[in-house]
Amino acid sequence: MKKTFLYALVLVFSFMPITHQAQSTKNKRKKKNKTEALQSKATPKKNQGQIKDYDKVITKDAVTDEGLFKVHKVGDKYYFEIPNEHLGKDMLLVSRIAKLPSNLGGGYMNAGTKTGERLVAWERFDKKILIKERSYNSVAEEELPISISVKSNNYEPTLFAFDIAAFSKDSTAVVIDVTKFYSTDVKAISGLQGRLRTTYKVRNLDASRSFINGMKSFPKNIEVVQDMTYNASQPPSAQSAETISLQMNQSMILLPEVPMQPRFADDRVGWFTYSQVDYGSKKLKADRKTYIRRWKLEPKDPEAYARGELVEPIKPIVYYLDPATPESLRKYIKEGIELWQGPFESAGFKNAIIAKYPPTKEEDPDFSPEDIRYSVIRYVASETRNAMGPSVSDPRSGEIIESDIIWYHNHLRSYRNRYLLETGAANPSARTLDTSEEEIGEMMKMVIAHEVGHALGLPHNMSASKAYDVESYRNGAFTQEFGIASTIMDYARYNYIAQPGDQNIRFIRQIGPYDHYAINWGYREIPGANSAEAENVTLDKWIMEKAGDAKYVFGKQSSRFDPTSQTEDIGNDAIKASDYALKNLKYVAQNLPQWTSSQTNDYDDLEELYGELLGCYNRYVGHVLGNVGGVEENLITPSQGGIAYQAVPKILQQQSIQWLHKNAFETPRWLVDKTMLQNIDYNGYTERLRRLQSRYLNSLLSFDKLGRLIDHESIDATNYSALTMMQDLRKGVFSEALVTKNVDVYRRNLQRAFVDRMAFLMTEDLESNRRDDYFNVSQSDIRAIVRGELNTLKRQVASAGNRQVNTVTKYHYRDLVKRIEEILDPK
């Protein structure tokens, strides 16, 4: 701050001589007085201007709370007394919702949802204290000249400016009135961001119904609770009131003086990351450096740790259970958290992660789930079926400071339903609506473990399920030891491959070998490595030791083109796995009324489960569909050899098309069982299948798939081509046109969907913001291929319409001819 005031003085004195030359003696005296006043701002006195004596501001009626800052409440005003030593220090300002109306954000926002996270610092300027937002996205070592430019070209915004109300009696702290900051509509800390304001037509904050609920200061953080009420024309609930009321929790956290040593990220091991642009790099460009996000774990006994002994961390990771958690579920949540003790032992730490039940008022009167000091498994009373594992991290180093796992009350319903549908054929205990508490608890334990994995820094690893051979899922000993994927971070929930009669099968996921590997890679201390750069040789060595072993492969969820990195799949052969899955699903469909409506004497559960059964079918088909136009992504370095992006073999793509014709495009009549449909709905029987089949066609006939097929044929003529794929698809979808055969209603819908999609390919274009697969459609081969295929199809259906087929089939073929003509010649 001294530099700031010196600069201000230089400006003052550099402009003074010009003014003095034009003034009379009287004016010179006035100017001198003015100058003295300006000088006094640099060394302010207690009684100067608007700055009052401490006792006049913090009166004898003040209620004071000691902590990071002193927090004073005087009447209806709140004051921060900020020690000078904390001015300029990095702090994290985290905004969370503490209470909210139902259905806010479509049900995916809840008590505990983080709405903002900002790195800030309190800075003094003249008679004001500013709260400035800081950024470490662009960096350079301070001793380098370019650091001046980095600062100049990344000027940090001021979130709020406060008048200095007083100085402490010993002049070691400044006092500011923060009432306005926390009781008015400051966008930086608002719970209603722009999208929600637009959706709910928020007009303004109603000051008469908004207030500060309370403030509390702790040694390293300050917690503020606000009640904020907005006038809104279309609120998410209680719409006649035209009001949205939120209770917000604002946390101000002092970050460590010395940031934790960061660890470089490596694409070959999955971690949540953050990046910085280093302008001080010796490379001939600004160097983007990416680091992982993780908790700070340090061994209590470094020497024992270096010898390879298990050592407790100085500060373990502690999760508290929400006081709102039902008693019957608490042990499963605790067990789910502490499942990660095993992987941490692989990293050399024992008791590294601990779960605690919520303390009583007597044990900890200050405990609050909104307090940033506590990581909590939040139990949310919501009909949403989901769970989440977000966290708060230091943007300077990636150190995770706190996280709240979100568990929505209705989530177990989804797991019960899928347990019945996906394992019911081979698992008699799943054939009920009243799943045993032990099995439900096991499912919940694994969901909690999955979300805790996110909070430890691990993203989804969608390649983990391909590590195991399909036949292994029918082996009891194998599944009991290895589960159904090499990590719990895959979306591999149940063993849907095991068949009736298979013995000792584990059907529910569990922690796997990749979890031990990833936690060791991210958390093990590397003795003697005193910088992130110094760790790289060891980190690479650990990866190379596991290279070639499918159990330790990481696959990005974002690689939507890679069929080996899909969600909800298991096994290394999608066709074989989906064959087993559909065989099981047919058995379940046949028995679903007996397992539901026959037991409940109503059709509610049957309707719900039939809808989810279609979802299972859709996933199994989708896993095979991913092979067509698919590209396997191999996250490797040049020294490892191999090819980073390899097209799926032509024979596998052709087999996948034939599988789709047999299992998706030939009408799956087992899905339209009238004993079910006529008891759950009065219509929509054909529409359900039309939607599914159209989805598969649209995926196959999409610009991105066709573009990839064209690309890969261009570099290897033996690869599956866009033309061949479209021909194979047309021949199967219109197989009736090649023989004298009537077309049923489901196939008529499918064929019309095909022609409609061809029209789309002729007229639409890729969005230019999709940089991953954007190309110029009109100048590519796509429309030439589509035009040629439509002409071929027109001749086929015109000829088929002249054969001995029923009237509706004739009409259908004539309609298709007309549609094709309108596509080819819109005029």
Same domain, 23 and 91: no
Output the pLDDT for position 153. 55
Query: Max CA-CA distance within the chain?
Result: 116
Residue 143, in any domain of the structure: yes
- Which secondary structure element, helix H or strand E, spans residue 125, and what is its range? strand 114-125
Tokens of 381: 């009373």
- Which secondary structure element, helix H or strand E, spans residue 246, and what is its range? strand 243-254
**For the chain, how far is it from start to end, CA to CA, in angstroms?**
73
Last-in-domain residue among 203, 232, 254: 254
For the ranges 404-413, 501-510, 524-533, 795-804, the lowest mean pLDDT is seen at 404-413
Per-residue model confidence as pLDDT tens digits over 590-599:
999 999 999 8
Asked whether the predicted pLDDT for residue 43 surpasses 50, the reply is no
Tokens of 372: 């940033």
Do the Cβ atoms of 215 and 73 come closer than 8 Å? Answer: yes
Residue 666, in any domain of the structure: no
Closest by alpha carbon to 450, among 398, 417, 491, 505? 491
Structurally, the chain folds into a number of domains equal to 2
CA distance 355 to 377: 9
Partners of 379 in the β-ladder? 407
Asked whether the predicted pLDDT for residue 39 surpasses 80, the reply is no
Output the pLDDT for position 769. 52
Same domain, 23 and 58: no
What's the pLDDT band for 500 if we cut at 50, 70, 90?
very high
Same domain, 62 and 163: yes
CA distance 118 to 93: 5
Asked whether the predicted pLDDT for residue 263 surpasses 70, the reply is yes
More confident position, 366 or 229: 229
Under 8 Å CB-to-CB from 793, ≥6 apart: which residues?
730, 734, 755, 816, 820
Same domain, 78 and 188: yes
Closest by alpha carbon to 626, among 700, 694, 558? 700
Interior CA angle at 539 toward 536 and 544, to 5°?
120
Residue 656, in any domain of the structure: no
Residue 755, in any domain of the structure: no
Output the pLDDT for position 684. 87
Under 8 Å CB-to-CB from 553, ≥6 apart: which residues?
463, 464, 466, 467, 635
Q: pTM for this one? A: 0.86
Do the Cβ atoms of 586 and 670 come closer than 8 Å? Answer: yes
Q: What is the distance of C-alpha 334 from the center of its chain?
A: 23
Output the pLDDT for position 363. 86
Residue 536, in any domain of the structure: no
Q: What is the distance of C-alpha 446 from the center of its chain?
A: 19
Do the Cβ atoms of 570 and 497 come closer than 8 Å? Answer: yes
Last-in-domain residue among 201, 233, 254: 254
Last-in-domain residue among 254, 278, 297: 254
Q: What DSSP letter does each residue of 173-184 carry, written as one string?
A: EEEEE-HHHHHS
Averaged pLDDT, 663-677 = 93
Same domain, 76 and 221: yes
Same domain, 150 and 206: yes
**Residue-averaged pLDDT of the chain:** 88
Same domain, 209 and 93: yes
For 610-626, what is the HEC assignment? HHHHHHHHHHHHHHHHC
Same domain, 94 and 29: no
Q: Judging by beta carbons within 10 Å of its beta carbon (0-12, 13-18, 19+), is residue 188 exposed, middle or buried?
A: middle
Residue 76, in any domain of the structure: yes
Same domain, 59 and 182: yes
Same domain, 230 and 137: yes
Residue 560, in any domain of the structure: no
Q: How many C-beta neighbours within 10 Å does residue 347 have?
A: 19
Partners of 494 in the β-ladder? 508
Report CA-CA distances (Å) from 641 to 344, 635, 644: 32, 11, 9
Do the Cβ atoms of 34 and 28 come closer than 8 Å? Answer: no
Residue 70, in any domain of the structure: yes
Same domain, 8 and 154: no
Radius of gyration of the chain (CA): 33
Same domain, 21 and 167: no
- The bridge status of strand 128-133 relative to strand 287-292 is unpaired
Output the pLDDT for position 463. 93
Q: Which domain holds residue 89?
A: 54-254
